[in-house]
Structure 1
Amino acid sequence: MSAADEPVRFDPSDFGAIPSSRALRSWMRRTRRQHADRSFWEIFEDAYLVLFTLAMVGATGGNVVRHLNSNAATCTSWTCGQLTSWLPWIVIPLLLATTIRVLLAVGPVSASRATGFWLLATPVNRASLLRPAYRLVIASVTVIGVVTGAVIWALLGEPWFDVIEAAVLIGAVLVCAAAATVWAQQTTRRSRWALRVSDVLLLAAVIPAVILAFRPGEDRFGNQVLGSTFIGLDARHELVDTYGYPTLQFGEVRDAGGLTSGQLYLLVLCAAAVVVGAALTFVASRTLDRLGRVSVIAGGELLAGLAGAASSLDISMLGDVIAGRHWRLKGRVRSRRGRGADGAAIVHREFRRILRWPRRIAVAFGLLVVPYAVHGAGFHVLVPIAAAIAGFIAVRPMLDGLRTACRSTGLVRALGWDLRELRVVMAVVPGLFTIVWAACAFPAIGSAASSFAVAAAVISGTVRHASARPPSYAGPLVTSPMGAIPPGLFSQPARGFDLLVLCLAPVLFNLSSLWVVVIPSVVLMLMFAVRPKTA
């Protein structure tokens, strides 16, 4: 047998030493710069308007937050003290649950398909290749956590030292959650358990919101603020006596440095959280080589799909991309025989389809924390609009079947139904869920007519949003600082929310109960009577 017929044997020495990831990234950076056709100043000229807009928005928003902080600091009612006391037990579990769920939906560590094919399949150190993406995730979570914590506690009228402490603590806690999701991404079983933990945290945020909503409006000390520390201990607000001098509240002790006991305790807690977050970040970075190539590439494809959906301003496509990744990773489900005929069969299949993703139902009921939290905070006027927005977010994922049918003419013909009739049939199960959700939110809303308006707003808005046709790119382009934009894209994000606002208009204008019921009923009937437009 000749040497040409023998099996090929690969010797690493024939290809030279395996390059380090640092050298590989340096070579890629140098290659990109050699093929670049635009200079830095040309790119900066295009990005100048965007940066200037962001700076103006940030300055305006910061000024608004500062004024709201000054106004809220003068509030001495019982509601303000209770809100400060209970808000950490609502916000922190809610932020943790959202962070875990969003990061696990993305990866959190992700890479493009090209990177997965050309780099991650090579003997190059995978941890070093993925470390830049990991650092970007940690930095993004840190910034979002710090900004969110600072804004929330500034709106409560807290002193700026307390705002900084709360921002640092929330940022450190979210960084710990991000490091935990990187560890959970390494196996499917860990990811499932992490999602269950997020469901438990969501439930933990609902309980104090319900307690806050049902607490009596006045305590045995009258209308004075009982207040609390960040962790629910003694009050740390300062009162002003009749001579204008600040006094401490209920057992507060101020040390020589001017800090109260609650502030000092929170400072120690922040330092411990920062140390733990830094340690977990370092440990997680050492385990990046255990990440599977499939999960990393799936996250990169998801980000690419989300970028495409965001560029077209199609909010529904964002949910489609996330749902598509979920079912691709799941792979298969156990099929079940349908029941009934005609419309009953479609209703049964929609019910089974919703039950195949039970975590969406758990998240939907977890969103009940929004109206109860707003009610407990004392903003009773905003409860209906908060409940409607939360209900919209809860019910919209259950209408994916309607959206698929409305954007597939062939599927509608295969089902043998008119699109208007199909929209009514496919909205039965989400409509029943909306009624149950609005009934659960009724104690916070406080009125049967307002609860009906909220339910009508949610179902009409979600059905219109799901049955909307794709964005239209016809017609002349409109110039903007970001380039030419088709005019059809501007109306795309508002579809569904317009009916939601229209149904809630009599509630917001404080009209009589008759109009609160009649106007949403008319909007609901007209919405289901009009045939949706197809692409």
Structure 2
Amino acid sequence: QCSYVMLFSVVMIGAMLISIVLRAQGNMAGCNTESCASVRLLVPTAMVLACFAVALGVARLFGPVLASAAEGFWLMDAPISRRRLLRGRLVLPLLLSFLIAGLTTALVGALSGLAWLQVLAWSCAAAFGSAGLVAFAASEQTRERVRVVKVLQAVFATAALAVLLVVVSVAAGWLPTAILAEAGTATWVFAGLAAAGLVGMVVLLQVTVARLEEIRRARLVSGGSLVSGMQGAMFALDFGLIRDILVERRMAEKGHVKPTRGRGLGLGALVWRDVERLKRQPSAFLGLGMSLFVPYAVDALRMSQLNPFISGLALVAGLVPFLGSLRVLSRTGGLARTFPFKTAQLRTATMAVPAMLALLWGLAATPAFVGIASTGADRSLTSGLSAALITSLAGLMGAVRWVTAKKVDYQTPMMATSSGALPPGLILNLFRGLDMVALITAPLILQLPAYWSLVVGLIVFWALRGSFNMAELQAESEQAKRELAEAKEGRVDKQKIPRPGS
């Protein structure tokens, strides 16, 4: 019976999603202007390039060929062929890169309004190209080389950003659209790219299999230990812990940093440390810059009604790297208690620098909310500015919620599900960050006055800064009771000593 209910639910939800995609595809395909045709081709192209960059980055991070610590301990030293053991390890990375890139690009292409033959061409190019690049990363792993992979990753990421910039320029009417609207030529180009990716994957796979014996055991085990460390976080659906593991690995590879002297006193010293971290990790600005392209791309696709929600989610991903101090202080209670400040004060100080970045993001994204597409403006300047600032507030609060979410408490009463007993907070981990963005931007999406979103955002800020921290209030109450008891004991034991000679 449970299997029947699960199968029926999967079919029903799948049918709903397919219906939504088909409806969106039909609506987008109804736009016949040259600007719409150009944007319809450019957005899936940017997705293909982004899939290439992500495939190379993930492959370089994990291996892509890896082995567990147990296998590295006894199988790698055994007198057997290492090639026979590792040959099957190439199948899963290739399959995952193929499916994820293909399905994601197909979804973006369908939502952009491409014809189904064009969706097939773009998705095949992304799938076969990503699989071929993973095979290339595996061949480089056998030679202990990562420089070429890093260069290609940077090239594809830069190309994706450049295509998004062209999308914005076309939507604003800054570039001619006649050349970019040639759908037939672009379809053949991506079909050829898919064929080249398939051929490259086969050739590089053969080269990699022939050189699997040359991979060092330390390189194989490092990727396996990273995967095993992330599995526990995945079981708990704790994506913040997954990011912590990745940050720790990157810092271990970096080795050391140059210490600098702090400035200021009190909470100002914490704010200054966050300012110094901006210089230490300039790569974090890349994600923030990419999130700034999202509202312009959404406006170019004429999805202005959902622009606050989609752009707010993109800003959440862009601001998370700047909330490292808040992450450490929220997860390490002992460290936070060493400061002579309350939780609300610490969290407010660690939000200061990300809040300034969110404010700059909102000002830079204002033209997208006003409307830069050639079809005309969607909002007035005042309404667009307020929508952009509220979106930046929603992104900041979503990032703070994502970073400060508590761990799953397995001591609470379990919730009965068809998959077994689960703690209630486990499912909510999937929606942290997204819930705050949806809550704050809902009045804008429903076309209510902007001050409703502002009021909701201020309430969310008051809650997330720890203004009503039950643990802190209980600790203060216990301390007050303890001091009162000590005072009473002191009054009982106090004896009056007469003055000498009196």
**Structure 2: distance between partners of 1:186 and 1:329:** 19
Match of 1:293 in 2: 217
Match of 1:149 in 2: 105
Between 48-57 and 356-365, report the one with greater CA deviation.
Answer: 48-57
**Structure 2: distance between partners of 1:262 and 1:389:** 30
Match of residue 274, structure 1, among 198, 206, 209: 198
- On the 8 A contact 1:203/1:366 being kept in 2, the answer is no
- On the 8 A contact 2:347/2:466 being kept in 1, the answer is no
1:499 aligned onto 2:436:
yes
Match of residue 119, structure 2, among 157, 160, 163: 163
Match of 1:210 in 2: 165
Match of 2:397 in 1: 460
Q: CA 1:138 to 1:193, structure 2 compared with 1: closer, same or farther past 3 Å?
A: same
Match of residue 90, structure 1, among 42, 46, 67: 46
Match of 2:308 in 1: 384
**Structure 1: distance between partners of 2:95 and 2:427:** 32
Q: Report deviation, 1:396.
A: 1.4
Q: Which amino acid aligns with 2:417?
A: S
Match of 2:260 in 1: 336
Gaps of 5+ in 1: 1-44, 237-260
**Structure 2: distance between partners of 1:351 and 1:220:** 38
Report the RMSD for the aligned CA atoms in angstroms. 3.3
Q: Report deviation, 1:402.
A: 1.6
Question: How many pairs were matched up?
Answer: 459
Q: Aligned to 1:375, what secondary structure does the other structure show? A: helix
Q: Report deviation, 1:92.
A: 1.8
Q: Which amino acid aligns with 1:287?
A: R
Match of 1:101 in 2: 57
Q: CA 1:285 to 1:359, structure 2 compared with 1: closer, same or farther past 3 Å?
A: farther
Match of 1:530 in 2: 467
Match of 1:420 in 2: 344
**Structure 2: distance between partners of 1:66 and 1:514:** 35
Q: Report deviation, 1:532.
A: 4.4
- On the 8 A contact 2:66/2:220 being kept in 1, the answer is yes
- On the 8 A contact 1:209/1:373 being kept in 2, the answer is yes
Between 408-417 and 507-516, report the one with greater CA deviation.
Answer: 507-516
Q: CA 1:116 to 1:291, structure 2 compared with 1: closer, same or farther past 3 Å?
A: same
Match of 2:334 in 1: 410
Match of 1:469 in 2: 406
Match of residue 439, structure 1, among 320, 339, 363: 363
**Structure 1: distance between partners of 2:429 and 2:229:** 18
Q: CA 1:53 to 1:123, structure 2 compared with 1: closer, same or farther past 3 Å?
A: farther
Match of residue 358, structure 1, among 282, 305, 308: 282
C-alpha offsets along residues 177-203 of structure 1, whole Å, 9 cap, x if unaligned?
A: 212322444577x43553454344323
Q: Report deviation, 1:395.
A: 0.8
**Structure 2: distance between partners of 1:472 and 1:324:** 24
Q: CA 1:469 to 1:164, structure 2 compared with 1: closer, same or farther past 3 Å?
A: closer
Q: Which amino acid aligns with 2:42?
A: W
Match of 1:234 in 2: 182
Q: CA 1:488 to 1:159, structure 2 compared with 1: closer, same or farther past 3 Å?
A: closer
Q: Report deviation, 1:309.
A: 1.4
Q: Report deviation, 1:389.
A: 0.5
Match of 1:305 in 2: 229
Identity %: 27
**Structure 2: distance between partners of 1:330 and 1:430:** 24
Q: CA 1:200 to 1:448, structure 2 compared with 1: closer, same or farther past 3 Å?
A: farther
**Structure 2: distance between partners of 1:288 and 1:170:** 26
1:488 aligned onto 2:425:
yes
Q: Aligned to 2:146, what secondary structure does the other structure show? A: helix
Q: Report deviation, 1:49.
A: 7.7
Q: CA 1:482 to 1:96, structure 2 compared with 1: closer, same or farther past 3 Å?
A: same
Q: Which amino acid aligns with 1:380?
A: S
**Structure 2: distance between partners of 1:208 and 1:278:** 29
Between 373-382 and 64-73, report the one with greater CA deviation.
Answer: 64-73
Q: Aligned to 2:412, what secondary structure does the other structure show? A: coil
Match of residue 449, structure 1, among 381, 386, 390: 386
**Structure 2: distance between partners of 1:469 and 1:220:** 48
Q: Report deviation, 1:517.
A: 4.1
1:397 aligned onto 2:321:
yes
Match of 2:379 in 1: none
Q: Aligned to 1:76, what secondary structure does the other structure show? A: coil
1:198 aligned onto 2:150:
no
- On the 8 A contact 1:453/1:516 being kept in 2, the answer is yes
- Normalising by structure 2, report the TM-score: 0.80
Q: Which amino acid aligns with 2:182?
A: D
Q: CA 1:69 to 1:529, structure 2 compared with 1: closer, same or farther past 3 Å?
A: closer
**Structure 1: distance between partners of 2:434 and 2:247:** 22
Q: Aligned to 1:492, what secondary structure does the other structure show? A: helix
**Structure 1: distance between partners of 2:447 and 2:5:** 42
Q: Which amino acid aligns with 1:167?
A: S
- On the 8 A contact 1:406/1:534 being kept in 2, the answer is no
Q: Aligned to 1:415, what secondary structure does the other structure show? A: coil
Q: CA 1:427 to 1:292, structure 2 compared with 1: closer, same or farther past 3 Å?
A: farther
Q: Which amino acid aligns with 2:303?
A: F
Q: Report deviation, 1:121.
A: 4.0
Q: CA 1:523 to 1:159, structure 2 compared with 1: closer, same or farther past 3 Å?
A: closer
Gaps of 5+ in 2: 371-383, 473-502
Q: CA 1:469 to 1:362, structure 2 compared with 1: closer, same or farther past 3 Å?
A: same
Match of 1:31 in 2: none
Match of residue 111, structure 1, among 57, 67, 73: 67
Q: Report deviation, 1:89.
A: 3.5
Q: Report deviation, 1:394.
A: 0.9
Q: Report deviation, 1:392.
A: 0.3
**Structure 1: distance between partners of 2:323 and 2:21:** 37
